[in-house]
């Protein structure tokens, strides 16, 4: 399984998502979706857990069986795990959160303001990336999914890149290692997907992994269009509706195969302005 391109023609699957988009958006509630160029596309349904919320200040605490997806005041997204506490703090221009427990962060890029996650045993700092932080009992760890993160613990500091993990126990010196399968470390998140200026090709790789499907992208130029989105326990159809519409691509699902055709790669900055029609629909009109 893995994102790939295809140059061969395939029979057109019977299920095309652009026709269904209006029905989903009628029930929209929580997660804003953006495409590079600054255009926004509606919202999608929230999950069965605590509703997603905007957190501009204060703190939030989850119970033993509870998780919550948050949007911070700067546009960053957080998936807070069970029995965890997240608290915001002001520290000059720096964006700072305090964490006890576990959380996954999709940090909104800001070249002038670092985003820092502080815990009792270590700290992680980034300018714009996706990573997980755990501070549980006396253990501290950071796992980088995309981009890079500066991590410090036990009087040691390291710059972690994608696929690397930093760990420290009881405040001891930080150690680092490569993680072959980052997704296996994030199973606790369920089907939550957090993208932050993530290339469309990379986003579809993660859709494949989370939902157990195979994605075929006919136009390789789509891969570089960046998407920012947070999906909280949506089903596969809802996720595909939004991601494919936001890059102006035609998507279809047949069995466990997703086919993506066309798109806005040749015209960066195109945003959503209502349900799109396939060529066949225009001909009928």
Calculate what percentage of the chain has a pLDDT beyond 90: 48
Model confidence at 278, in pLDDT bands (50, 70, 90)?
very low
Tokens 């700067």 — which residue? 74
Q: SS3 string of the chain? A: CCCEECCCCCCCCCCEHHHHHHHHHHCCCCCCEEECCCEEECCCCCCCCEEEEEECCCEEECCCCCCEEEEECCCCEEEECCCCEEEEEEECCEEEEEEEEEEEEECCCCCCCCEEEECCCCEEEECCCEEEEEEECCEEEEEEEECEEEEEECCEEEEEECCEEEEEECCCCCEEEECCCCHHHHHHHCCCEEEEEEEHHHHHHHHHHHHCCEEEECCHHHHHCEEEEEECCCCHHHHHHHHHHHCCCEEEEECCEEEEECCCCCCCCCCCCCCCCCHHHHHHC
Calculate what percentage of the chain has a pLDDT beyond 70: 71
What's the pLDDT score for residue 29? Answer: 30
- Say if residue 285's pLDDT is above 90: no
- Say if residue 6's pLDDT is above 80: no
Take residue 191 and report the two structure tokens written for it: 């089907």
Model confidence at 91, in pLDDT bands (50, 70, 90)?
low
- Say if residue 51's pLDDT is above 70: no
Model confidence at 89, in pLDDT bands (50, 70, 90)?
confident
Model confidence at 74, in pLDDT bands (50, 70, 90)?
confident
pLDDT tens-digit readout, 239-248: 999 998 888 8
Give the start-to-end residue ranges of the domains of the chain.
4-29+201-284, 50-185
Model confidence at 90, in pLDDT bands (50, 70, 90)?
low
pLDDT tens-digit readout, 146-197: 999 999 998 899 999 999 999 999 888 899 999 999 989 998 998 899 999 9
74 against 116, higher pLDDT = 116
What's the pLDDT score for residue 44? Answer: 33
Fold of 50-185: Jelly Rolls (2.60.120)
- Say if residue 143's pLDDT is above 80: yes
Q: Work out the mean pLDDT of the chain and round it to a whole number.
A: 76
What's the pLDDT score for residue 32? Answer: 37
pLDDT tens-digit readout, 185-233: 998 998 899 999 999 999 999 999 999 999 998 888 888 899 999 998 8
Q: How far apart are CA 17 and CA 2, in angstroms?
A: 21
Model confidence at 145, in pLDDT bands (50, 70, 90)?
very high
pLDDT tens-digit readout, 20-46: 444 444 333 333 344 333 322 323 333
């Amino acid at each position: 399984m893995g994102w790939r391109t295809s140059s061969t023609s395939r029979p057109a699957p019977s299920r095309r998502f652009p026709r269904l988009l209006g029905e989903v958006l009628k029930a929209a509630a929580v997660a804003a979706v953006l495409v590079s160029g600054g255009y926004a596309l509606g919202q999608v349904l929230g999950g069965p857990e605590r509703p997603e919320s905007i957190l501009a200040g204060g703190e939030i605490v989850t119970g033993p069986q509870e998780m919550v997806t948050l949007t911070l005041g700067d546009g960053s997204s957080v998936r807070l795990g069970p029995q965890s506490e997240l608290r915001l703090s002001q520290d000059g221009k720096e964006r700072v959160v305090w964490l006890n427990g576990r959380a996954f962060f999709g940090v909104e890029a800001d070249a002038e303001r670092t985003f820092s996650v502080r815990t009792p045993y270590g700290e992680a700092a980034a300018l714009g990336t996706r990573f997980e932080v755990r501070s549980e009992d006396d253990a501290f760890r950071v796992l980088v999914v995309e981009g890079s993160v500066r991590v410090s613990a036990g009087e040691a500091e390291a710059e972690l890149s994608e696929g690397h993990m930093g760990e420290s126990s009881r405040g001891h010196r930080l150690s680092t290692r490569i993680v072959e399968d980052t997704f296996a470390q994030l199973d606790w998140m369920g089907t939550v997907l957090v993208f932050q200026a993530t290339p469309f090709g990379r986003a579809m790789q993660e859709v494949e992994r989370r939902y157990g499907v195979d994605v075929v992208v006919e136009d390789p130029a789509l891969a570089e269009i960046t998407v920012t989105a947070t999906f909280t326990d949506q089903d596969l159809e809802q996720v595909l509706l939004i991601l494919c519409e936001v890059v102006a691509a035609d998507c279809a699902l047949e069995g466990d195969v997703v086919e993506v055709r066309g798109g806005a790669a040749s015209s960066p900055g195109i945003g959503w302005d209502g349900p799109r029609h396939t060529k066949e629909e225009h001909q009928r009109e």
